[in-house]
Every structure is written in structure tokens, then in C-alpha cells.
Structure 1
Amino acid sequence: MKKTIWLSSVLAASLLAVTCQVARQNAPNSVQTATSQSEQTVPAFTENPSPAHLTPEQSLKSFRLPKGYHLELVASEPMIHEPVAVAWDGNARMYVVEMNTYMQDVDGSHEHDPTSRVMLLEDTNNDGKMDKSSVFIDKLLLPRMLLCVGHELLVNETDTYDIYSYKDTNGDGVADQKKPVFNPGKKAPGNLEHQRSGLDWNLDNWIYVTVDPVRFRYTGGVLKADTIPSGSGGQWGLTHDNYGRLYFSSAGGEVPALGFQINPIYGRMEFSDQYSQEFNAVWPIIKTPDVQGGVQRIRPADTTLNHFTASCGQVVFRGDRLPTDLSGDLLISEPVGRLIRRAKVGNVAGKTTLENAYQKEEFIASTDMNFRVVNMYTGPDGCLYLVDMHRGIIQEGNWTRPDSYLRPQITRLGLDKNIQHGRIYRLVHDGLKPGPKPQMLDETSAKLVSYLDHANGWWRDNAQKELIVRNDQTVVPTLKTIATGQKPASDLGRIHALWTLEGLNALDKTIVLKALTDEDAQVRKTAVRLSEPYLKQNDATLLARLGDLKTDPSFDVRTQLVLSLSYSPDSKARTLAQEIITLAPGNEMVARAQRSLDKNEDVKKFGRRLGSLDEIDRKLVLNGSTIYKSLCTTCHGPDGKGLESKAAPPLVDSKRVRNRNKDIAIRILLHGLSGPIDGQTYPDVMPAMGANDDEWLASVLSYIRYEFGSNQGVGVRPADVKAVREQTAGRSKAWTLDELIKPDQK
């Protein structure tokens, strides 16, 4: 779980009025860094924070926020406990996921007992605070994902891929109907922090999740799965912006944001400069000794977390009841640091970039050691919502074992005693009143169409989703007038109209062709994506019209052209894609788009693991496989585990194979290996293979490292072998381990 930041400068009077226009997200090519104006009621740094549990009222006094911003309590214990995710239905009723068995002690005892639940909360007097609750679903195993579709709630639990729909048919606030909507019949065991999250109904009508290489389409009351060849990535948390760009994060990899350059269906694309190394640094306002990574993860001077280690729960804020300069910013939680990062999102020649909104400061930070935000959302009222699990331990039991760095920190501070609490906060701002409560489930489809142009992204998304769930074809004529510009609407209104038509299977080529000429670049980009079904059908007219955009002023459009043209079987489409690349010399996005597609095709052809390798390394691995199976299996066994006769040591889990230093394995293959190995004596020495050429040796080693090693630094190239061969040219006898490896590396 991990990352983000933000803030505004002096607020002009114009910010105090709620505008009817939707704020545009990706217009600037540069990022304006906000100026810090934090409230002074909380010190800039607290050296010795108390680990004691605070009441909700006490916690509200622990936050350091930008001037004008305030957190309000929406719900807390005893109404909720251990909340990790929320979802609103079309009438703004809030469903809250509780993981009631998560780390109830330092050992994680009884974690997989089915005693967690989903709560249903309501605000009956419209004051922003939940005052009515019921247990909507009980006796669940650590529920982790949920999505409202019409009057139903889709839920996934830990350790399973199954997703069920729950419905309350008698209005008592308790689900009394359950049916499977996705039931592959497979278990998904593993550390619960490394399992999927999401169920994010994106602008393109696909429902995305993290971790698993799959996305879903909600059709006829069930979820239809579609494979994402190169995988979706990410860990805990998933969000999208106004134009359907997805943002993932990976706490385990200490990566605060990834996957946001292109949709994962086209492959993977990351840039080393999409945000700076400085962006990884975080700035808590209290000491943070309870860090899983140990002392290398904390600053010696003040014992604060020095970079993201638990980024999670990210959200692109898309509401209309906070200052407009916040709209489109990416917020990332870092629960280990008790802080929220605000990132300004920029667009540089089509490349999306992130920058901390402040200098060595965070958007929201707390002195409450139990402040553990794990999810954030844009709410129906246009404000920002924080889901605070509010607990002492935020790391799963695999990282709190008796020999871990964390365990003594947890027990010393008594953090293991702080359990069964939970807070949901709403971020508000002076002078900006939260918006009204929606009643979408009770309104006509014609009324829902009007919300596709709403200033709050939550309303636009949910109106589109509800229209598609209803499959009401009576609104199609109106949607077409919006999509084609006959009826005035903002660019976002036209985009939502286009995707709603797509979701209703009511889109036609005439509308797509019209949208390709729209004055707004994001509408044109949308039209390019919507042309893909026609490209699959080898539609020559549409392919020709796409060619008119090859010098489009927007690199977003040109990049999407390259990606979408891959759906056409016509060789002219590939020629056009190459022409687009040629006409954009030096543009990284356009050039990398084709490379991402090529890699995606490799994954489809060779599988995800082998397909992820560069073509040179893949060729070496495949050639090496042939050599190994014809020669090496006689001693090392076909599975690399050795033979019962113990003719040679096993290769599986061998430190020589897994060692990141390729030279050790190269030396062994060139000159052989003798003597005891891992305490075992073998009848013969490993013979020298140096008589074979460099490519032969590189192929064998690449395969062995790929198949039996860690898959890190797999590629052994012929040049690597040549260099070691020259260094050891005078060698005439086999190596021993003592010569090759330090004692602690054997």
C-alpha cells in the first residue's frame, strides 16, 4: 500500500462558486507546483507521537492540511470496523467492506475465519454523516472488491476468483438474494496483500482489476472475462481519470504509480522520467519506526519514512465541490507514513507525468499513529472520501514474524492492541458546500442522460453505468444528438455519450466518423478507440479516414492511432502506423506505442513469462532449451532437480544459477567445476564446455537461468561469454567453489 500529494495557492473569489463546467485535466503541458499553506494547528513535526488509540474527535485534531481544507467524520466505530473499501449505489447509499480478521494480533491468528462483512450505511438527514446502518452481508472471508450495478452489489472475497451478486429484495437493508456472476471454480490462495483489488467500471465499459491479467464486461447480469495478455499489474487500489486512463500502484515493488501511459490491453509502457526519483520520497510529520523495510527505509536524522513502501488506495479526484485546481490531481495514500500525496498530472508531448504538488511536504499528514488510509474516492457529493482502517498494524503477518525488524517495533509501541476501529472521512473546503444526494435508481433514463454532462465525475460515471445496466434503448436518439454535437454538451459530455452508445450496442460508423473530426482532441482520441471493431472487419473507409489524423496536433491522438491500427488485418494499417511514427520523429509515446504492441504480441505467442523477454534473449532461451534437453538432462535431470543417482548437483534453487553475477555461471561452463558442492560430493567433475562457441554457451546459460533461476537478469549474451573467455584465457583446469564464490555466497 503506497503514494501522492497536492494543494492550492491563495483562493480567489471565483473558487468559492461552483461552476457548471467540468474542469479539464490534461490541458497543460507543464505542471504548476502548489504553494504550501498548511494549517498551523498541528506542528510541522512531532518527535514522539503517542501510539495510543484516539477517539474520532481527537483524531480530527491530528491532521495537517492545506489552508481552507478540513476533514469531517462520516462514519466511525462502533458503526464500522476495519473498513478497507466503499461503493455507493445510484442513490448514494454507501456499502463498506470490513476486513474484521485482518491482523487482530501480531501473528495474524484466525485471519481466514469467515467473519468479515459488508455494511450498508445511509445518511438520512443529509448532513454528511451516516446515521443508519445494517449488516448487508455477513460471514465473509476478507471481502476485498465491490461494485454497485443497479440494485445489486457485486462482491469478491479473498482466496477466490469468484464474484457474487447480492440484492436486498424486501428493503430491510440486508441482502437476501445471492447469485454467481463470475464463477471460474478456482481458488486464489496466497498472501492477501498480493491478491486483486478494483472492480473499477471504467469509461470504456470494461471493469478492471489489479494483479490478474483480466478485465470484465457486465452483460446480461453476469461478468464476461477478457484476457489482458501483458497483465494489468498493480496491487491494492485502482482509479481512472476523466478520459479512462488507469492508475495502478505497487506497494510490494515500492512503486507509487504505474500503468498510466496506455491502457493495459495494448501492453505495458513505463518511462524512467514519468516522475522523478525525488517523487518517491515521502514526508511524514511524525517519527515512523514501524517500517517493514528496516533502518534503510527511515531517515537517520529524524526516524521518518524516507520513501514510498505502502502506496495504495489512489484516486484521481474528479469532484466539483473542492477547489478546481484539485480536479484531475492524483492522490496516493502512504499508510505507513500516515500521509496522503497529491500529484499534479501533466502531459508532455503525449507522455503523462507526475509531480509532487509541494516541496518536501504532503497534502494531508497526521500525528495519529493509527491513521491508515487504504482507499480514497470521489464521492457523490463532489468531495473526497478517505477510508481509514485506523489500526496499529498495517503489514500482513508475513512481515511481522518473530525474527522480523517490524515485530519488536510493533510490540514496543503496543500497536498490536489497536484493532476493531475504523473511520471514513470527507474532505471539504471553506465556502464550498457539498453537492446534493443523487436518486439515480429512481429516475428515468432520460434524466440519467442529462447527468452525462455533470460537473462531478462520479455522476457521469454512474449515469453511464446505470443506463447500460438498464439497456434502455429509448435514449439512443438523444445520445446520438449529444455525441454528434447536435445537442450542446461539453467535450466530456460527448465522450460519455459515445461510450454509453457503445455500451448499449447502439454505436454506428457514421457517429464514429463524425467524432473523428471533433474539435476536441480527447473526443477524437475516443473516436479512434471506438473505430477498432470496424478495423477488425477490415473497413477500408474508416481506415482511410484514420489516415487523415496522422499529423493530428495532439500526440494523444497519434499514439492512440498507432495502438488502434493494430486491430486491422490490412497491411495498409501497419504501413500507416509506421508512417505516423516517421512523422513524429523524437516523440517517445508514438514510437513506444508500436514497441508495446510488438511485445504484447510476443506475450500472446510465447506466453507472458517468455514473451516478456527481449527477442534476442528469447531466442537464446529457446535455443538453449533444445541444447539442454538433448545434452544436460542426462546428469541434471529434465526438471533440473538432478537424478536419484546423484550424477550431478540439482540446478533448481542453485545459488550459482540464481546469482545475479552471470560471470560465475559462465566460468563454470567454460572450464568446469570440481569438488564438493553444497556439502555433497559427486562422482565426476562438471566437464568444461569451452570448446563450444560463445552463442552456444550463452544459449545454455540463458535457458538454465530462465527455467531454474529467479528470472532476474536472465539474459546471458554471447558478448558476456566472450568477455569472460578472454579474462580466463589461461585457465586449464576446473574451478572450485572456493575460487569462484565468497563463503557466504556458496
Structure 2
Amino acid sequence: MIKIYKTKVCFILSFLLLLFSCKPGKEQTEKITQNRPALFVPDDLEATLWAESPQVYNPTNIDVDVKGRIWATEAVNYRNFNNADGYLKHPEGDRVMILEDTNGDGVADSSKVFVQDKDLRSPLGIAVLGNKVVVSCSPSVIVYTDENGDDKPDKKEVFLTGFGGLDHDHSLHAGLAGPDGKLYFITGNAGPHNVTGKDGRTIRAGSVYTGGSPYNDKNTPALKSSNGKIYTGGFAFRVNPDGTGLEVMAHNFRNSYEVAVDSYGNLWQSDNDDQVATCRTTWVMEGSNAGYFSATGERTWQADRRPGQSIETAHWHQEDPGVLPVGDIYGSGSPTGIVLNESDALGKQYRGLLLSADAGRNIIFGYLPKLEGAGFPLKNRTNFISSVETDDTNYRWNDIKEDKSKWFRPSDVAIGTDGAIYVADFYDPVVGGHQMNDKKGYGRIYRIAPKNKKLTVPAIDLSNTAGQIQALLNPAINIRNQGFKLLKAQGEKVVPRIKEVLSSENPYERARAVYLLAQLGNPGIKEVETLLQDSDAQIRITALRALRQANPQNVINYAGQLASDKSPAVRREVAIALRGLPLEKTEPILLTLIDGYDGHDRWYLNALGIALEGEAEVFYPTLLKHFNAQEPANWPQSLVNLVWELHPPAAVNALQERARNEKLSTKEREKALVALAFVPTRPAADAVRQLAQNAPNDMVSFAQYWLQFRKTNDWRAYLKNWQSPDNQLPEAHPELLVLRNKVTNSQLNIAQRSGAAMELAKSKVGKLHLVSLAADQKLPDTIQQLVKAPMLREDDRYIKSLISRYFDTSDSVSYSIQKITALPGDLVKGKKLLYGNCLVCHKVGEAGGEIGPVLTNINNKYDKQSLSQAIVQPEAGIAFGSEPYLITLKNGGMLYGLLLSEGPVVTVLDIYGRRYMMESTRVLSKKQLKTSPMPSPKHLQLSEQDVADITAFLLQKDKSL
């Protein structure tokens, strides 16, 4: 188990510049002095500043060669279109650097340029595979070959090209060699991507995403690849070393910076969205849709967000069928490099440690992945390495930090041949090239190793079998590949030597032997076939994966052997192995796998959906017969979930029946309605229309939402004559819109405009119009002062609180946090005050509204001082998703509340908890406010003692007092 106690490692500011083996350029002649942050690491490890500028500038990705040297791609020229004069530039192109600790003292003392190339503009990935250096730099994967070992490229080849995202961080990222010998890459959503392999196989992927770079002004969703499938957004793929066999492993990412592939063949990634607090770390299932955009990339998550959905759920489409479970959502951030440590060099407790860097949060997160059912939920996240003592969970990418400890921007993390952790630090006050502030291009690399134990770079002789096996067992990923290739080239004769590795105490080493044996001819395949019965479920999975590639004609037989395996994870892998195979051959195995589904495991369900992709309609009658299904209301949960996941058109009548059956819970009926909404046929649209007209009350509004939403996409052709009801709109006030236009009309004199403003100030809705103008800075100062008095006479405390933030900035009432914290709290009075003032917006237990964050477990997040401050100063920490909006309608109506969805259908939860849905064509404007919807204690007429009482009650674990 990882100890989470941290040791603070400080670096001496008088660190001397070292001598470099390369000839220094102009920028390398001057020492760069920076305030180096401390790093916090587990107490049995220590961090060392291994290299810094001018040895390397702005490193984006690192890898290791067989000599233990660190190779780094630089992105000095990253988005220079955003940078004014005075910033470091490399006119001859960005560089690939080689750094080395030549004397073994744990610090780099040699730095040289391997290549500088004008085709390298912000390269984001590097893989050193023997004498071939694979660099990822959109639009291409470039391979540089050093044929004579002089650390200079003798040959340059464009290996693959056609990736979108030139000079963009949502583009092509690092490649690495998998345990099967194939190359794995990942790319972000800055498409369109149109990539053709050496055998003519083509991957196409796109979405509606544009921006971030002047070169990313066009994109195209719903593109079909040469295999007929639609891939969306960013995607992970693998390819043979000769450029053939392009294969998408998973898709619909936003911007996964890197994919990690462990020796079992598991894929791991982190995906970001620094606009909202929904970054995640995920185990990636082969064939999966990760859920960032709509399935074809034609809509954003905001457009697809349904009434009542949290941002986290909507952002990754977690309530849509056919979507991969999300893994660990850890909030705001900017995730970057990721790697899984498989060695014991740091200590056995760190074997299997997944390291996931986040540049925004100044952290390398640590996980010890544990199988639960068919997948890895990643529940045990720790702050493994950090430059900050307290994790900033409210990080925003463009918040410039004066605190230099927060300039630590880990761009990548790698494991060296010595087993140490190496961390590349891009170093900047903010994250991303939208707004870089470090003009010197400063960068560095840290090394993390055990205390009181010297890790040394091993000497590996690749000319003999022993050295090749040593390489295969090395901690560094791409060193293992060099051993793999050379051992594979020896063929069957090394089978006995590789079989010995199967006895290793380290299961990751056993897994590497499994993949290699499967590619050593029939003797190796036969050995791997016996491992389908191994006692370790991960080895059984690895054996199946290896045999699928080495002996594909026998996959049905292998799948049949494992279809009843006791491990849900093994059965999940069997389902994945069946995708794309003829249904007439796989049906008996699929039914056995379905018998093993417990009705709850989301990874298992998703795997079954992947196995039946394109076959749902044909398979549906067999599924019903297998369950002996009669009345839909009486279906077992496993069948309910399967029909939801598959949503075949033939199930429309059964789903409609479940949606209207009041014997079922609201949740189950909503689930049936969701499944109907994902059937793109006229009968499905007609079924939902009928539900909107004649269904239980709790289904009518949800059915109307789906009709409004699907009228703009899948059911467009079937709902041309359907009109949404007007009763979901706030009251119309066209006369107020006329007055508003007069206020902003510069052609009118000030008296006319002032008169219109005074008329607006006579009603609550009119006052919201004036607030909207003030928030947009469209209200002249003279008029703003004129209407101040009538505006502040508003009786509604929520509206008055909003008005005061624009029309009365004086602090006539002040609150002392120190005094509040010192006051004793009355729990009974605090509960009464909370229920009387706060539950309109907040929920405690089952009581309250949905406007603000749930307060049930607020005692786990805040202490007395911080909670008191949050109450007194609500603007200081508005949670993502809690920012209020003013929505102006074309009919003159106004809404003040939370924007739950925007796109073809706009959903608003107003400040009183009322929900409104409308077509976007009815909206005139949307204004996100920087204020909190939560009234200050002053507007709630609360005293300092009242705040202390409320705080005391909220800090109680048991709130049923």
C-alpha cells in the first residue's frame, strides 16, 4: 500500500550549471535562474532536479534509450502566434534533445541536439526504438533513423500522416511499443484526421470541435473509415511496425495526452476538459466509445445534456447506451503524461502504480488499479508527486500564479532503465499555449528514486540472448520492445528460455513472456494455450489477447473455453474478442456470457454491447427467447439493461410499455424512454409522441424534452409537424423588450433612454433586463445611478442579492470570519436557519433544491473557518456548474438560474427550482454571470451569530438533529 505521507524535497538555489557536451547555442550561454519549487513525494522516496535549462527547454515528452539516456521533445515554438516579441523561439524548428548522467551521480551532465527540424512545430511525443526515433508532430508521425550510432539522424521518413491539429495540443501525441510488438498512439480531437496506412487501410475521425489554433478552423463529424465505422473526436490506435494494420482501439476522447499500455495489454489514459471540473483517468476497453461528443461527433456534451444531469454525467455521456464507464473523475485540471510502473526498483509497494500527470494541478496522481467485476474503477487516487502542499481542486487553466511552486507543469512521466521515475516540467504560470507567460522557455526534468538506495543504469548487451531477455524485463517500456524484437527474430529456438520467464514472481514479466511466446511459432502458441487455464485472471486475459493476434483463426475455440470463466474480467475480454465475428458462430458463446452478467456491472454490459455491435436487431428475438421474456414490466434487470444498451428497433413497443407502466419506478420508466430516444426510426418517434400525450405525469415532460431534442437530429424527418408546447416558457413580456431596446438605443436622447429604464425598474422581470444590460456593460453610468434606488427596493431577496452586486457595491454590513469562527454554534437554531434560508437551493439528505451543491457531506470538505467564509463570501469559490445565467427570450421573458443544457434544446433551472425547456430558437441571449446565485448573509438578514449557528449544524456528521 502506498504511504501518503509526504517528504518535502527542497533544492539548493545555488545549484551550479554543469558542462554540456553539445555546443551551446545563443540561449545556452546564459544561466537561467528560477525559484525552484519543492516537490512533495512519499516519505520513502526523494526527488532530484536531474536537468534544467539550458540543457532542455519546454519539454513536452520524454523517453529512455538502452544507455539510460533521456530523450526529450521540445516545444519552444508552441503556438508562437500567441506570443509577442521577447519570447524564446527556435527559427530552425523545434528540437529533440538527448540528456545523460555520464558519471552516475544522479544528475544530468551532458545535453546534445539529436535533431532540429522545421517540420517539428511543437512535437508532442517521442519513442526511442533502438536506432529509430519516432516523433509525433501533427500532421505526421516522423521516424528518424540513426544508422551509424553518432546520435544524428541519417534518414527521415514520414511514417503516417493526415492527422489534424497543426501546432495544437489537441493533436497527435506520443507513440509507444506495446507488449505485442505493435506501436500504439493517441490523438486529440483537433481533427479532421484522415490517416492511411501502408496497406491502404484508412482511419477517419472528426467532430464539431474547432479553434485553439488558426490552423484548426475546420472539422468534419460523422466521417466513415475504410472499415465502414464512424470514429469521433480523439482516438487511440495501434499499427504494425511496418505501417500496416491500422486499428482504432477506442475513440471519442477530448484530448487524451498519452496512452499507457501495460504488459497485460491494458490501455490507460487521462482525458481533460479544463473548462469544467470533469477531468478523468480511465482504463480503456478495446472497441469502446469514451463519450465526449455525441456518437457521431455532431454535437457537444452541452448540447446533449439532459434535464437533471450533473455536469460529470453529461460531459462523458454516462447515461447514454454504448458508452465506456468513466473511471475516476477527479475534477478540474490539465492531464498530460501517463505510465504504469511495473518494476520493484522503487519498492514492491509501487509495483503496478499508475502515474498520471496533471500540469494544471501541479501533480502526478498515483493509482494502484484493482479489478472490480469486469473493469477498473480507479478508486484509490493519491497525490503521489506534487509541488504544492495543498491540491488546488478549483484550478483554472488561465489563472496566473504568483506562487512559483505552482509553475511546476509536469508534461510527461516516464520510467527509466534504472527503475527511477523521470518527470518533465514544461514550467509556466499558466497551462497551454493560449496564454504562455514564461518568456525564457524554461524547462526541467526531475528524477524520483528511493532514499538510501542507489539505482544504477544497467549495461544491456543486445547482441546475445541473455541481454535480450534482460531488455525484455527492463522497467523502461521501449527498451522491452528491443528485447522483444530480437528474441522474436530468433524464433522457436528461444521458447525454452522464454518459458523460464513464466516462473517470474513479477506477473508483468510473465505477461511479456506470454505475448512473446505467442509469436514464436507453434511451440510458443501451444504454451500460451495452456495459460488460458492459468490461476491468474490477468494472465488468462493476456493469453487470450496474445492468441487473438497470433492465431486469429482459432478465436472462437479460445472464446468458448473461457465463456464460463469465474472472472467477470475474463468473460468481458471474451466478449471483446467476439466483435466483428459472424453471429451464427458466436451466438452460443454470447448467450453463455449473458448468463454471466449480474445486471449491475457497467463494464461487462458495455463489452456485451461492443460484441453485438451491428447485430442487435437480429439478436433481439434470440435474447427474448433465452430469457423466456413475457411481459416487459416483469423483465429481469439483466434483460432490462441489455435492451437499453442494444436498443434494437424491434424493442420499441416493449420499451414504450415499460415507459408508461406505473408499477415500475420513475427511474426504470425514464430508462426505457432513454432507450427509445436512441432508436433512430419513425416508430420510436411516434412512440415518444404518444407518451408525451398520454403517459404518467412524471414522464410527460421528459418525453417532451426528447421530442424537442430529437426534432433537431435523429428524428428530424419524423417530427416536422410536431410543435413543442408553450406552457414550458416563462411569461411573455414583449413590452419589456421594447423598453430594453430603447435603453440601449444611442440614437435616442438620454431622457428617453432614462425614462425607458425607469419603466423597466417597476417590475421584477424588467429589473432582470436591467441587470442583464449592466452585466454586459451596456448601461450608461448616468442611467445606472438613476435606477439604483428603485432597483434596490426589490422585495425578492434572491433578485435583490443579484441587483446589489451590480447596483450597490458598498459594504454597509461587514462580517468577521475570525469572530464567526470564535462564536459557539447553536445546532438547533442552525438547523432552523438552514431550513428556512438555504434549502430553496441546496439539498441536505432528501430535502431541498438542486440549484447549489449538496450539503449533506459538506463536513468532509470544509472546516469551520472555510465554511464560514464560503457562506459570507459566496463569490469566492463558485463551483463549476453553479455559475448562474440570465437568459433573455425573444418574447421578452427572462430567466435567472442555472443553464442545464444548451444546444437545440435549452434547459434552465431557475433560482426557485422551476425547470424550463425550450427550443434554442426562442432564446435571444445567454449571459453567464460572475456572481454567485447564493444571496449573501446581508440579503438574508443573517447576523454573525446566525452564520456561526448554520456552520455548526453543517459541520455535524449527523444532520438529522
Q: TM-score, normalised by structure 2?
A: 0.50
Answer yes or no: is 1:86 the counterpart of 2:62: yes
Q: 2:186 is matched with which residue?
A: 209
* Alignment RMSD: 4.7
Q: 1:149 is matched with which residue?
A: 129
Q: 1:257 is matched with which residue?
A: 280
Q: Alpha-carbon deviation of 1:232?
A: 6.2
Secondary structure (helix, strand or coil) at the match of 1:424 reads strand
Q: 2:372 is matched with which residue?
A: 348
Residues 511-526 of structure 1 correspond to what in structure 2 (within 5 A)? 511-526=527-542
Deviations 1:63-95 (A, max 9, x none): 233323221122111111111111122222322
Amino acid at match of 1:208: F
- The match for 1:593 among 601, 607, 614 is 607
- The match for 2:475 among 453, 457, 460 is 457
Q: In the aligned structure 1, how far is the partner of 2:333 from the partner of 2:678?
A: 32
The number of residues matched between the two structures is 554
Q: In the aligned structure 2, how far is the partner of 1:82 from the partner of 1:191?
A: 14
Q: 1:701 is matched with which residue?
A: none
Q: Alpha-carbon deviation of 1:598?
A: 3.5
Residues 278-357 of structure 1 correspond to what in structure 2 (within 5 A)? 280=330, 307-357=331-381
Q: 1:555 is matched with which residue?
A: 568
Amino acid at match of 1:94: I
Q: Is the 8 A contact 1:83 1:98 kept in 2?
A: yes
Answer yes or no: is 1:136 the counterpart of 2:114: yes
Deviates more, 1:572-581 or 1:68-77: 572-581
Answer yes or no: is 1:427 the counterpart of 2:427: no
Amino acid at match of 2:469: V
- The match for 2:72 among 87, 90, 96 is 96
Q: Is the 8 A contact 1:267 1:597 kept in 2?
A: no
Q: In the aligned structure 1, how far is the partner of 2:64 from the partner of 2:535?
A: 34
Taking a change above 3 Å as real, the CA distance of residues 245 and 172 of structure 1, as seen in their structure-2 partners, is same
Q: In the aligned structure 2, how far is the partner of 1:236 from the partner of 1:69?
A: 26
Q: 2:152 is matched with which residue?
A: 174
Give % identity: 19
Q: 2:5 is matched with which residue?
A: 36
Q: Is the 8 A contact 2:492 2:524 kept in 1?
A: no
Q: Is the 8 A contact 1:267 1:600 kept in 2?
A: no
Q: Is the 8 A contact 1:97 1:143 kept in 2?
A: yes
Q: Alpha-carbon deviation of 1:381?
A: 0.8
Q: 1:620 is matched with which residue?
A: 680
Amino acid at match of 1:192: H
Taking a change above 3 Å as real, the CA distance of residues 218 and 56 of structure 1, as seen in their structure-2 partners, is farther
Amino acid at match of 2:582: P
Q: In the aligned structure 2, how far is the partner of 1:319 from the partner of 1:60?
A: 29
Q: In the aligned structure 1, how far is the partner of 2:519 from the partner of 2:338?
A: 26
Taking a change above 3 Å as real, the CA distance of residues 91 and 528 of structure 1, as seen in their structure-2 partners, is same
Taking a change above 3 Å as real, the CA distance of residues 338 and 483 of structure 1, as seen in their structure-2 partners, is same
Q: In the aligned structure 1, how far is the partner of 2:354 from the partner of 2:257?
A: 15
Amino acid at match of 1:620: P
Q: Is the 8 A contact 2:282 2:326 kept in 1?
A: no
Q: Is the 8 A contact 1:535 1:567 kept in 2?
A: no
Q: In the aligned structure 2, how far is the partner of 1:493 from the partner of 1:743?
A: 59
Q: 2:578 is matched with which residue?
A: 565
Secondary structure (helix, strand or coil) at the match of 2:452 reads coil
Taking a change above 3 Å as real, the CA distance of residues 267 and 515 of structure 1, as seen in their structure-2 partners, is farther
Q: In the aligned structure 1, how far is the partner of 2:529 from the partner of 2:551?
A: 13
Q: Is the 8 A contact 1:165 1:178 kept in 2?
A: yes
Amino acid at match of 1:198: A
Secondary structure (helix, strand or coil) at the match of 1:97 reads strand
Taking a change above 3 Å as real, the CA distance of residues 66 and 349 of structure 1, as seen in their structure-2 partners, is same
Amino acid at match of 1:433: K
Residues 625-704 of structure 1 correspond to what in structure 2 (within 5 A)? 668=723
Q: In the aligned structure 2, how far is the partner of 1:195 from the partner of 1:354?
A: 26
Q: Is the 8 A contact 1:391 1:418 kept in 2?
A: no
Q: Is the 8 A contact 1:319 1:378 kept in 2?
A: no
Q: In the aligned structure 2, how far is the partner of 1:417 from the partner of 1:492?
A: 41
Q: 1:196 is matched with which residue?
A: 172
Taking a change above 3 Å as real, the CA distance of residues 331 and 486 of structure 1, as seen in their structure-2 partners, is closer
Secondary structure (helix, strand or coil) at the match of 1:346 reads coil
- The match for 1:392 among 407, 422, 429 is 429
Q: In the aligned structure 2, how far is the partner of 1:353 from the partner of 1:61?
A: 32
Q: In the aligned structure 1, how far is the partner of 2:101 from the partner of 2:3?
A: 34
Secondary structure (helix, strand or coil) at the match of 2:77 reads coil
Q: 1:608 is matched with which residue?
A: none
Q: 1:574 is matched with which residue?
A: 587
Q: Is the 8 A contact 1:445 1:475 kept in 2?
A: no
Deviates more, 1:326-335 or 1:140-149: 326-335
Answer yes or no: is 1:532 the counterpart of 2:524: no
Q: Alpha-carbon deviation of 1:357?
A: 4.7
Amino acid at match of 1:595: G
Q: In the aligned structure 2, how far is the partner of 1:194 from the partner of 1:99?
A: 14
Q: TM-score, normalised by structure 1?
A: 0.63
Deviations 1:92-140 (A, max 9, x none): 2322100011256964779896621111222222223222222111132
Deviations 1:627-654 (A, max 9, x none): xxxxxxxxxxxxxxxxxxxxxxxxxxx9
Amino acid at match of 2:368: K
Q: In the aligned structure 2, how far is the partner of 1:499 from the partner of 1:736?
A: 54
Q: 2:419 is matched with which residue?
A: 382
Q: In the aligned structure 2, how far is the partner of 1:153 from the partner of 1:41?
A: 34
Taking a change above 3 Å as real, the CA distance of residues 216 and 363 of structure 1, as seen in their structure-2 partners, is closer
Q: Alpha-carbon deviation of 1:38?
A: 4.0
Q: 1:364 is matched with which residue?
A: 386
- The match for 1:117 among 90, 95, 116 is 95
Deviations 1:556-610 (A, max 9, x none): 21211222133543634222122123134245133331023345879xxxxxxxx
Q: Alpha-carbon deviation of 1:223?
A: 5.8
Q: Is the 8 A contact 1:241 1:328 kept in 2?
A: no
Q: Is the 8 A contact 1:311 1:332 kept in 2?
A: yes
Amino acid at match of 2:130: G
Segments of 5+ residues of structure 1 without an aligned counterpart are: 1-31, 43-54, 281-306, 401-414, 603-610, 626-653, 659-663, 680-711, 717-726, 729-734
Deviates more, 1:362-371 or 1:242-251: 362-371
Q: 2:45 is matched with which residue?
A: 69
Q: In the aligned structure 1, how far is the partner of 2:326 from the partner of 2:46?
A: 29
Amino acid at match of 1:449: I
Q: 1:26 is matched with which residue?
A: none
Q: Alpha-carbon deviation of 1:389?
A: 0.9
Give the number of the structure with larger relative contact order, counting CA–CA contacts within 8 Å between residues 6 or more apart. Answer: 1
Q: Alpha-carbon deviation of 1:554?
A: 2.3
Deviates more, 1:423-432 or 1:67-76: 67-76
Taking a change above 3 Å as real, the CA distance of residues 618 and 438 of structure 1, as seen in their structure-2 partners, is farther
Residues 595-614 of structure 1 correspond to what in structure 2 (within 5 A)? 595-599=609-613
Secondary structure (helix, strand or coil) at the match of 1:585 reads coil
Q: In the aligned structure 1, how far is the partner of 2:614 from the partner of 2:289?
A: 5
Segments of 5+ residues of structure 2 without an aligned counterpart are: 12-30, 189-233, 292-315, 389-403, 617-645, 649-673, 686-708, 714-718, 739-900, 906-915, 928-961
Q: Is the 8 A contact 1:386 1:425 kept in 2?
A: yes
Deviates more, 1:191-200 or 1:265-274: 265-274
Q: 2:526 is matched with which residue?
A: 510
Q: 1:720 is matched with which residue?
A: none
Q: Is the 8 A contact 1:117 1:135 kept in 2?
A: yes
Residues 689-728 of structure 1 correspond to what in structure 2 (within 5 A)? none
